[in-house]
Amino acid sequence: MQYSGATMSSSRVAVVVVSFNTRELLLECLESLRSASELLLSDIVVVDNASHDGSPQMVRQAYPEVRLINNPTNVGFARACNQGIRSTSAPFVLLLNSDARISELCLDALLACFSLKETCGAAGCTLINETGAVRPSTWRFLTPFNQALELLGLTQLASGRFARSYTPTTGEDGIDCSVDWMEASCLMLRRAAVEQVGLLDEHFFMYSEDEDLCWRLRQSGWLTCYSNRGNAVHHGGASAQQNPLQNLYRFYRSQYLLLLKHHGKASAQLFLAANRTALLLKRLWHRLSGNHLRLHDSQLRWKAIKHASNDEDPPLASTSQPPIDA
């Protein structure tokens, strides 16, 4: 198999899929891997975080070639990914969400990033939803203010380093390596780079572990690259929607911890203040406009972010309505 003159036929890819109560989507995910080139795949590992929907049993029965790590409790996304990474030895590792499935060209496209860019430490591709619409997957690193601007829909006014969203610009090779970070819903890692900077930080139960890893890769001279030559379908939030308020708490808590880790307490506190202000403005606007669904979402976010600097999960009331654009 050729990539712009560089032979990658000897490359072997291990795939790590973290699962939590997404049985039917996990079926689609594993089927897409079964259809991928067997010449490239060396190992597929499913790390199940104590699912109670029959996911482990399904994996054993329908995909006997897949190795299963069955956790007795939900240890979180980062720790489960690390379990999978440690259990494999391939030079490249694909982290793939259980609610995602790859296209036929995905593995080739991601491997091409590593072949063409020697300093590529992580690579991702285009993410689309089930209708075929492109999902945002390329981002700039978090600052105290860019997430609030994103929340308010002011990203068009926030250019350069002040924007959270990033629109990739690819060359003739279809690659852009000026991306700050990409989501671990479909992210291939160079094992040598991860061994240098360390595995996913398990202080992040869910969210921001991928951004933190890309941040540490950048600090050590590695690049995160985007390729437009392949894609993956990502439903998004399939596990998180089982408890929307807890999901939002973990989202803001992880972002708070990310800034605390990389920029200190003042930056993390500014982040909370900026997002609380943005949410107050959104709640007022949705109340005046009569948009009750968006108002409900803003109220959930407000409840979640109030506890983001706490060390323990807040008391969370159950709700049947999932968050919007979490």
Residue-level pLDDT, tens digit, the chain, 326 residues: 233 333 344 568 999 999 999 999 999 999 999 888 777 888 999 999 999 999 999 999 999 999 999 999 999 999 999 999 999 999 999 999 999 999 989 999 999 999 999 999 999 999 998 888 998 899 999 999 999 988 887 766 655 667 888 999 999 999 999 999 999 999 999 999 999 999 999 999 999 999 999 999 999 999 999 999 989 999 875 555 667 888 899 999 999 999 999 999 999 999 999 999 999 998 888 889 888 888 888 888 888 898 888 765 554 444 334 344 43
CA–CA distances in Å: residue 303 to residues 13, 138, 273, 307? 41, 28, 14, 7
Indicate if 208 and 282 belong to the same structural domain.
no
Residue that is last in its domain, among 212, 234, 256: 234
Task: Please tell me the total number of residues recorded for the chain in this structure.
Answer: 326
* Same domain membership, residue 83 and residue 32: yes
HEC-encoded secondary structure of the chain: CEECCEECCCCCEEEEEEECCCHHHHHHHHHHHHCCCCCCEEEEEEEEECCCCCHHHHHHHHCCCCEEEEECCCCCHHHHHHHHHHCCCCCEEEEEECCEEECCCHHHHHHHHHHHCCCEEEEEEEEECCCCCEECCEECCCCCCHHHHHHCCCCCCCCHHHCCECCCCCCCCCEEEEECEECCCEEEEEHHHHHHHCCCCCCCCCCCHHHHHHHHHHHCCCEEEEEEEEEEEECCCCCHHHCHHHHHHHHHHHHHHHHHHHHCHHHHHHHHHHHHHHHHHHHHHHHHHCCHHHHHHHHHHHHHHCCCCCCCCCCCCCCCCCCCCC
- In the structure encoding, which two tokens stand for residue 310, read together? 């706490």
Question: Do 72 and 6 belong together in one domain?
Answer: yes
Residue 145 domain flag:
yes
Same domain, 274 and 136: no
Do residues 215 and 251 both lie within one domain? no
Whether 312 is in a domain gets the answer no
Q: From CA 243, how far away is CA 246, in angstroms rounded?
A: 6
The answer for residues whose C-beta is within 8 angstroms of residue 211's C-beta and 6 or more apart is 139, 141, 142, 180, 181, 258
Instruction: Identify the domain boundary among 201, 234, 267.
Output: 234
* Domains held by the chain: number: 2
In a domain, 326, yes or no: no
pLDDT confidence of residue 44: 95
Are 98 and 217 members of one domain? yes
Model pTM score: 0.88
Q: What is the dihedral of CA 86, 92, 98, 100, to 10 degrees?
A: 170
317, part of any domain: no
Question: Of 234, 266, 292, which residue is a domain's last?
Answer: 234
Residue 275 corresponds to which amino acid?
N
- Residue 323 within a domain: no
Angle, alpha carbons 234-30-222 (nearest 5°)? 60
Q: What is the CATH number of the domain that holds 205?
A: 3.90.550.10
* pLDDT score recorded for residue 308: 87
| Per-residue pLDDT at 320 | 39
**Contact in structure between 202 and 82 (CB atoms under 8 Å):** yes
214 and 248 in a common domain: no
Domain coverage including residue 255: 243-305
Instruction: Give yes or no: residues 208 and 291 share one domain.
Output: no
Is 208 domain-assigned? yes
pLDDT at residue 201, rounded to an integer: 97
My answer on whether 159 and 32 are in the same domain is yes
User: Is residue 158 assigned to a domain?
Assistant: yes
Judgement on whether residues 206 and 165 belong to the same structural domain of the protein: yes
217 shares its domain with 171: yes
Structural domain includes residue 113:
yes
301 shares its domain with 253: yes
- Measured CA to CA in angstroms, residue 38 lies from 32, 198, 201 at distances of 12, 28, 31
pLDDT score for 153: 78
Which residues is 92 bridged to in the sheet?
13, 190
Are the CB atoms for 87 and 191 separated by under 8 Å?
A: no
